[in-house]
A = this chain, B = another copy of it.
Amino acid sequence: MNNNKYMIFVANIHSKFEWITEYWTPKILAELNEQYVKLAKIKGELIWHSHQDEDEMFIVFRGTLFMDFKDGTTETKEGECLIIPRGVEHRPRTNGEEVWIMMIEPKGTKHTGDVQHEKTVMNFEWI
């Protein structure tokens, strides 16, 4: 889609989600201050990973995001946000439903940290 870098722009977040047809394939909505704002639809589970130098923020726009940590699981519902500090191992998953998430993280953040998997996205597209 269009590259919105360095433009004033307004976007409807729900409408942008409607364009996403694949799970676990984050799309870039915006770039600012060396961060990407990404949108993703997820269902099922991703693999365990961590990001050594990047904190991550998730905002849930639909459904409930389950995040497994080594010592427990958080549930983040629609209208809630989750912060994961750098270095903390985690595994995102859903309870079988489709969940819509916004992620805010540095541009260089790898999808699944230093772990590679068939679900790992190497190059993020704009939406």
Q: Enumerate chain A interface residues (CB-CB to B < 8 A).
A: 4, 6-14, 29-30, 32-33, 35, 37, 54-57, 59, 69, 74-77, 79-85, 88, 104-106
Contacts and interface: CB of A to CB of B under 8 A. Distances in A.
Q: How many copies does the complex hold?
A: 2
Q: Which of A13, A29, A105 has the most CB of B within 10 A?
A: A13
Given A8-B74, A57-B30, A80 B37 contact: no
B32 A83 contact: yes
A8 B54 contact: no
Contact of A12 (B7, B30, B32, B80): B80
Contacts of A54: 33
Q: Which of A10, A85, A88 has the most CB of B within 10 A?
A: A10
